[in-house]
Amino acid sequence: MGCTIIGCGKALPALEIANDDLTALVDTSDEWITTRTGIKTRRICVDETNVDLAERAARAALGWDEGGFNERRIDPEEIDLIVYSTATPDVMVPTCAALLRRRLGLSNAVAFDMNAACTGFIYGLGIAESMMAASAAGAAGASGRNAFRRALVVGGERLTRITNWEDRNTCVLFGDGAGAAVVEWSDERAGILATYLRNDDDTDNALTCPTAFDAPQPFDAQGVSLEAAQAADPGLARIDAELGVTEAVEAGRPRQTLYMHGQKVFKFAVEAMGRAVDEVLERAGLTIEDVSFIVPHQANERIIKYAAKRMKLPLDRFQISIAHRGNSSSACIPMTLSDAYDAGRIHPGDKVVLVGFGGGFTSGAVLYEA
Ligand code: COA
């Protein structure tokens, strides 16, 4: 009995930008990017939105369009939950999940967005699984709660909209995309065997993206003030100081772009991936020898290689899809999972680990039986 992945799909924007193309923007080279990250090209939204990509990914995952993995076609009314992970929503209200629900006609679904940075899809699966398990435990519908039996879990990002295209330390790393999975509560199959979600404080502000909601606010501490509407937001100044970006913002760097200390994130990432895999296996009472396949977050090929070494696992047990995508945050894991299914690398009964890490710092893993 458990929550099983029964469909998976992905979607990418049309424009593909190669490393060499980026030399028109920053002082970099194909050689540097390839050897330091494993990335050759990335996809970038021009007229596609986050929800456009999610819609295509979801249609493939539901078995409505070609190109996904499906155990069966899902009817719209069968989906009762949409969990949409994104750090880059097209708009704040309505949520991306609500837009997706409307476009797909999933009229029975409760739909919401959540953000756990690049670990978002792992958190999203964890949330969906917990809601479905609570629902099943409460004899679906008789517990005073909503009943959840089938969920669409999405990771969708338009990360290149928060990328600083003048910063070579970050801009070569990111791309856009969306991935989606259909999960179903099954009385017969084990499905998800364990989940592990974790937060550590990013004490050095190694990965940040301050927001800038900037509708004029005509108030000061005394009340209405038309002058205050023209002044800088004192709250934003405090949060900039807390995040250590004051100098950069004052020097004219766009506030709403990613700031990253690569080496600190790298170190955290290798440790976090290894720990999350160890912990999720312990929770399931299994060992690494029991695992058939690992689908990791795709931030840097070298991070995956270090993590594989730490786990003493050959690289061919990992799906590596970074070369033509780069890092698309919470979309990476569901898209990479979709690649693994497309390539026939996941078989019924296999024990598969999905593992990720990201800003916050968040990290986590999901172990499931295919
Ligand atoms: N092209 C050319 N040179 C570059 C460059 C680029 N795109 N980006 C950085 N450099 C330079 C740096 O300026 C530095 O030069 P210096 O030695 O003259 O100061 C040099 O390359 C080495 O920089 P460093 O930051 O030490 O490189 P690195 O080997 O750590 O690789 C990252 C940088 C970002 C690829 C790597 O740290 C990384 O992948 N970190 C984790 C990122 C991540 O996972 N982010 C998302 C989390 S979800």
Determine whether the shortest distance from the Cβ of 322 to ligand 1 is under 6 A: no
Q: How many CA atoms lie within 13 A of 32 on its CB side?
A: 12
At a CB cut-off of 8 Å and minimum separation 6, what does 351 contact?
A: 193, 286, 290, 291, 292, 293, 367, 368, 369, 370
Consecutive sets of 10 residues in the chain, 370 residues long: mean pLDDT of each? Answer: 96 98 98 98 98 98 96 97 98 97 98 98 98 83 81 97 96 98 95 98 96 84 90 88 93 92 96 97 97 97 95 94 97 98 96 98 98
Q: What is the pLDDT of residue 228?
A: 87
The answer to whether the Cα torsion of 289, 295, 297, 299 is positive or negative is: positive
Calculate how far, in angstroms, residue 174's C-alpha sits from the geometric centre of ligand 1: 13
Determine whether the shortest distance from the Cβ of 262 to ligand 1 is under 6 A: yes
Q: How far are the Cα atoms of 208, 248, 323 from residue 164, in angstroms, in the given order?
A: 12, 12, 21
Calculate how far, in angstroms, residue 188's C-alpha sits from the geometric centre of ligand 1: 48
Q: Whose CA is nearest to atom 34 of ligand 1?
A: 262
**Considering the entire predicted model, what is its pTM?**
0.96
Q: Whose CA is nearest to atom 12 of ligand 1?
A: 169
- Strands 81-85 and 110-114 come out as parallel
Catalytic machinery residues:
118, 297, 327
Determine whether the shortest distance from the Cβ of 346 to ligand 1 is under 6 A: no
Q: What is the pLDDT of residue 142?
A: 61
What is the DSSP code (8-state) at residue 316? Answer: G
Q: What is the pLDDT of residue 137?
A: 84
Q: What is the pLDDT of residues 317-341, one digit of tens each?
A: 999 999 999 999 999 999 999 999 9
- Strands 41-44 and 15-18 come out as antiparallel
Q: Shortest CA distance to 328 belongs to which of 152, 158, 114, 170?
A: 158
Helix or strand run (H / E) with residue 47: none
Q: How far are the Cα atoms of 195, 214, 279 from residue 354, in angstroms, in the given order?
A: 10, 37, 13
Q: Are 207 and 266 in contact (CB under 8 A)?
A: no
Calculate how far, in angstroms, residue 31's C-alpha sits from the geometric centre of ligand 1: 13
What is the DSSP code (8-state) at residue 272? Answer: H
The encoded tokens of residue 67 equal: 């190109």
Q: How far are the Cα atoms of 23, 26, 346 from residue 20, in angstroms, in the given order?
A: 5, 10, 34
The encoded tokens of residue 333 equal: 């894991």
